Amino acid sequence: MGYAMEAWNYGLETADDDHHKQALADSPPGHRWEYIILVFRPTFVIDQPVHHNSQHDTRHTLPLSATPRQAALIMSPHAIHQSGKHSVDLSKFAVTRNAFLPEHSPPKVLADPYYEPWELVVQHLPTLIRTGGIRESVARLPVLSTDRLRSQAEWRRAYSMLAYMTHAYVWGGDKPDEILPPQITLPFLRASEHLELPPVLTYAAANLWNFSCTGHDFSNLEDLSTLFSFTGTESESWFLLISAAMEAKAAGILQTMMAALEAVKTCDYQAVTDALGELRTCIQNVSALLERMYEKCDPMTFYHRIRPFLAGSKNMDAAGLPRGVFYDEGDGKGEWRQLRGGSNGQSSLIQFFDVVLGVEHHTHGSAGQKSFHTEVREYMPGPHRRFLVHVARASSIRELALAAPTTADQRRLRDAYTAATEALSGFRNKHIQIVTRYVILPSKQPWKGAARQNLASSSSERNGDEELTGTGGTMLVPFLKKARDETSQAGKLER
């Protein structure tokens, strides 16, 4: 039901209770305490004191369509503290000046020579895959402990190395191997537990922690190179580094939007509007980087040589893994696992855009089933996952924008919100265009290279575009279109 709502002000010159007497005693000269009384007919009254200068007077009226949550946002503008900052310590969420990328360029080698066997395999991964020697090389590895890893950066490198070895082992033959040996399984499970990630090639392993930078700007593609590669091709490096640069390009927006979420609490329309303008520009800059994919990534090379190694073991029946992968822990122990492969859906940055704009993604499955966007948070580093939960529990910019506008500031805020969601929809449209060029079109063209059973061969046998499977195990085209449409719907500001 709707609520009839009004806001009345009245001054407080005397007080007959201890709380208000102390408030008056603490007031500086020229100030007075004022009550803003919010009346929600027919249900309840909210009574709260607001401190402001006596030379001003304010009166707020909310529309009948406003919700109680929106009404709770209303307070005197004289109480607003416009600092442009926020009170959240982002470091506890492993958020750095480079956003979700590490503070410094990841290490190029594990310091302890004990880990040289891993380093040698990863260094020669493209050759071992090309010559068919990857599985034999892994079989000769000793089972190494993770106890000698010296820092969080080394844990991340170890995890990424083991993830690359895992996918090279599984997908590096004419047919996939469904049993992962203990030489990889045991340390990989330990590293995954430490970083709160599943034992598979995640976006974090392939993108966030798989780069080296010769400069200080991680968004400068010309200064970036990859640390790990399945093929050793420029196409693979460029594909992965585009995502790393996109993450870095958006670094400053996290601080901006966290401050905007705090500004929502005080209905600081101007601060929120300015932040939304910056968000729109940020998304457009990220989109421009995505469009640079065409410069150095060849579609046929990507589809047939690179993409198959990014696939996980979930929904990969046609690719040769009907039961997933058995993670052999030795001595008769182990577990079958079906895990999603790496995809941009696991980017905490893209989900951050969704969360701050209030874009909701739904599932068409059974009641209680998680949406893909919710499920893939389990494939993000633990601190990043908790950061998104924290942001989702903060104030809602969309709720503030949804209130029927009665002032010019409110109208500007709504326009800025719509523009930001349109930018995000535009980004998702560009992603669909990339998928068309790099997945859909190559799936219809003959490949003259080695014939293997993998995601490329199984996708090429599908009957139509709608049946193509993504590396994350989703029906690729319907999933992307649905995410785009849900973003557009959020921008319409309709209940």
Say which amino acid occupies 379.
Y
User: What is the dihedral sign for C-alpha 381, 385, 386, 387?
Assistant: positive
Exposure string of 301-325, with b = 16+ CB inside 10 Å and e = fewer, is bbbbbbbbbbbbbbbbebbbbeebb
Cα distance between residue 185 and residue 48, in whole Å: 59
Cα distance between residue 89 and residue 71, in whole Å: 28
The reply, when asked if residue 194 is annotated as ligand binding, is no
Conformation bin of residue 368: beta by default, left when phi > 0, alpha when psi is -120 to 50: left
Do the beta carbons of residue 312 and residue 200 sit within 8 Å? yes
Q: What angle do CA 389, 394, 398 make, to 5 degrees?
A: 110
Cα distance between residue 259 and residue 264, in whole Å: 9
| SS3 category, 10 | strand
Conformation bin of residue 473: beta by default, left when phi > 0, alpha when psi is -120 to 50: left
Cα distance between residue 118 and residue 379, in whole Å: 23
* Dihedral angle over CA of 112, 115, 117, 120, nearest 10: -70
Say which amino acid occupies 236.
E
DSSP 201-216: --HIIIIITS-EESSS
Please give the structure tokens belonging to residue 288: 């421009």
Contacts of 468 (CB under 8 A, 6+ apart): 439, 440, 443, 459, 462, 475, 476, 477
User: What is the dihedral sign for C-alpha 212, 214, 219, 220?
Assistant: negative
Q: Omega before 102 cis (within 30°)?
A: no
Contacts of 52 (CB under 8 A, 6+ apart): 31, 32, 34, 58, 76, 78, 79
User: What is the dihedral sign for C-alpha 366, 372, 373, 379?
Assistant: positive
* Strand intervals (E) in 193-343: 212-213, 224-225, 325-330, 333-337
In the annotated binding site for heme b, the residues are 431
In the annotated binding site, the residues are 431
